[in-house]
Amino acid sequence: MIFKSFRMGIVIRISFLTATIFMVTYLVLDTQYYVSQFILSIIIVIQVIMLAKYLERTNVLLTRFLEAIKYSDFTGAFRNHEMGAGFGDLNKAFSRVIDKFKDERSKKEESIRYLETVVQHIGIGLMCFNAKGEVVLLNTAAKRLFQVATIRNIDSLKSISEKLFEVVKKMKGGSRSLARVSVNKETLQLAIYATDFKMRSKAYKLVSFQNIHTELEEKEMEAWQNLTQVLAHEIMNSITPIASLSATVHMLLDQNATTKDENYEINGETIQDVKDALNTISKRSQGLMRFVNSYRDFTQIPEPDYTIFEVRELLERVANLMRSEASHQHIKLEVTVDPQSLELTADIHLVEQALINLVKNAIRAMEGQQDGVIKLKGSIDEVGKVNISIIDSGPGVKKSVSEKIFIPFYTMGSKKEGKGSGIGLSLSRQIMRLHGGTLTLDSELGEGSEFKLRF
């Protein structure tokens, strides 16, 4: 029987059931029609069963719907099957929800495929493993890098490189490391980064590997070329006059020395010329020795001894140390710290040396300039890191020079008495690297310079 409405179907069935019950009650109480009583009792049982089945269709639909969601089976359809308008509305609602789930799953699958494509085609090696060391992701770049088809557990890294295994095993989330390893007789200089994350309450670690061997070799060659040029320039500046004066002394002795009774006689003028030449040779030799010693100092910076100190106290101390030298050049030193209570964890002696080098450099840059100002500024940047800046009102630096200014022994212009050796800025940057920070220069011609120490 087809009903136009689920509610009407329920009402009619209950009405028929009620009427049948009344009829059976009447026959039992007032008549002796036992056959009729029996038949009507059977009809009552059938009506109850049919009513229960009719009502259970809703539960069946709901169960199908929930199981479809549970098992992500969105292939089925919810149709009316002559169940009435009420069931038709329910079927339509279920179908709309299922279609929405299908659409969302399709978008999710497309995003996953996109990410998988990116991960597999990116040029950086990626490896992801769980707390048990089981590798759940190894992209194409990593397979190519380690020359393997697959890695099921990080213990397999031992067969590639014992050193690489130890580095990866000990790395914590957010850390980075450099490792020089050999894979099938090929040297790899790996920059390794690690990050931790959780997925479905399980801990995972994602590690990236980038071979920077070629880039390092190029930078190393460039650094050696720059250093060699500077060293050659400094050494030749000392060796050339020494060689020239040695030849001059040799010539003076050959031309003016006379033999008498197996002894040499030299006039007073020649002796004075020889003394002057030897004195100059001695000074140039001492200058060359100082240059070599400064190179040795550059390579022997001690490891930082970290303490907590107030930035204002440090800057005031540096300003007091340099105030006398600055005043001779009519340069004013200013100290500003924001916030006033700003503190820094670092080696106060090494940082002080770096700041002294930078202030000295600023004073030399403003030589001959009237009413110069050097600001020593302490602050916190937008990410909460401590910055110390040395800002001068000098002539500024050309961009071509600013790229070379941190090269050891590089100096601008000709050397005069009291000029630097070209080691101060290099030492200062090396000190900042030992602290895990940076030293940068921001300068424009005619607008002064700012050296910034970022910790």
- Mean pLDDT is lowest, of 23-32, 189-198, 353-362, for 23-32
378 and 405 co-located in one domain: yes
State in Å, rounded, how far the first CA of the chain is from the last one: 83
Q: Residue 403, Cα to own-chain centre: how many angstroms?
A: 23
CATH classification of the domain holding 428: 3.30.565.10
Contact (Cβ atoms closer than 8 angstroms) between residue 301 and residue 427: yes
pLDDT one-digit tens code per residue, 231-258: 676 677 667 777 777 787 778 777 776 6
Any domain includes 421? yes
Residue 234 sits in the same domain as residue 319: no
Domain limits for position 255:
216-298
Bridge partners, 153 (sequence order): 134
Look at residue 415 in the predicted model and tell me its pLDDT: 43
Give the pLDDT confidence of 215-234 residue by residue, as tens digits: 766 776 776 676 676 667 66
Positive or negative: CA dihedral 366, 432, 401, 444: negative
Return the DSSP state at 153: B
DSSP 3-state of 409:
coil
Domain assignment of residue 116, yes or no: no
Residue 224 shares a structural domain with residue 198? no
Q: What are 278's two structure tokens?
A: 């030897």
Average of per-residue pLDDT values in the chain? 80
Q: Specify the pLDDT at position 418.
A: 44
Residues 178 and 260 in one domain: no
Q: How confident is the model over 423-451, as pLDDT tens digits?
A: 778 888 888 988 989 999 988 888 889 99
pLDDT in tens, 30-82: 887 888 888 888 988 888 888 887 777 767 767 777 777 776 666 666 665 54
Shared domain check, 132 and 98: no
Q: How many CB atoms lie within 10 A of CB 173?
A: 12
With b meaning 16 or more CB within 10 Å and e meaning fewer, what string describes 148-157? Answer: eeebeebeeb
- Is residue 43 assigned to a domain? yes
Cα Rg of the chain, angstroms: 44
Tally of structural domains, the chain: 4
- 127, 243: one domain: no
**442 domain-assigned:** yes
Candidates 316, 347, 307; CA nearest to 432 is 347
Whether residue 2 is predicted with pLDDT greater than 60 in this model: the reply is: no
Q: How far, rounded to the nearest angstrom, does the alpha carbon of residue 413 sit from its chain's CA centroid?
A: 38
Residues 142, 146, 150, 151, CA torsion sign: negative
- Among 105, 132, 155, where does a domain finish? 105
What predicted TM-score, i.e. pTM, was given to this entire model?
A: 0.47
Report the C-alpha gap between 224 and 214 in whole angstroms.
Answer: 15
End of a domain among 298, 333, 348? Answer: 298
- Do 328 and 392 have their domain in common? yes
Residues 357 and 265 in one domain: no
Instruction: Give mean pLDDT, residues 163-182.
Output: 87
Residue 1 covered by a domain:
no
Last residue of a domain, one of 176, 192, 211: 211
Is 444 contained in some domain? yes
In a shared domain, residues 126 and 147: yes
For residues 318 and 446, state if they share a domain. Answer: yes
Assign 93 to helix, strand or coil: helix
- Portion of the chain with pLDDT greater than 90, in percent: 20
Which of 214, 221, 286, 225 is closest to 408 using CA atoms?
Answer: 225
Decide if 64 is inside a domain: yes
**Minimum mean pLDDT range among 21-30, 51-60, 201-210:** 51-60
Residue 110 placed within a domain = no
**Is residue 129's pLDDT more than 90?**
yes
Residue 88 and residue 50 share a domain: yes
Does 383 lie in the same domain as 293? Answer: no
- DSSP helix/strand/coil, 68: helix
